[in-house]
Amino acid sequence: MAGEAQADCLFCRIVKGEIPATIVRESETTVAFRDINPQAPTHVLVIPRAHYPDAASLAAAEPALAADVLREAGEVAAAEGLDGSGYRVVFNTGAGAGQTVFHAHAHVLGGRGLQWPPG
């Protein structure tokens, strides 16, 4: 069923506490934790507790939950002191765009200059 935890999904396992993560913020519907391989001084991932393979399928199935992820991304940025300097929220979608974990997640990146367009 859509949204159900997947036993073989890394981020579902982080939600369940089976794999440790440095959690910075939690809500009823989302979890935010530091990326294990940070690409900027602040690099936090915000995920829905429910499993959807990418942001588009999440937004199509549960738009309110997609909004929760976006709101939490903003809350993380504010808590990290990034709302003055600016930051980037990224949803890599598909292997060709660099998605490696197929549980929807927002990258919140900041704390350094960010180039545009991204590589």
**Active site residue ranges:** 105
Q: In 3-state terms, the chain is what percent helix, strand and coil (to 5)?
A: 30, 25, 50
Instruction: Give the 3-state secondary structure of residue 52.
Output: coil
Q: Does 69 bind Zn ion (CB under 5 A)?
A: no
76 is an interface residue for ligand 5GP by CB under 6 A: no
Give yes or no for residue 35 binding ligand 5GP (CB under 6 A): yes
- Using rule CB under 6 A, residue 98 touches ligand 5GP: yes
In angstroms, rounded to a whole number, what is the distance separating the alpha carbons of residues 25 and 27? 7
CB nearer to Zn ion: pick between 19 and 97: 19
H/E stretch holding 42 reads: strand 42-48
Positions touching ligand 5GP (CB under 6 A) are 10, 19, 21, 33-37, 45, 92, 98-101
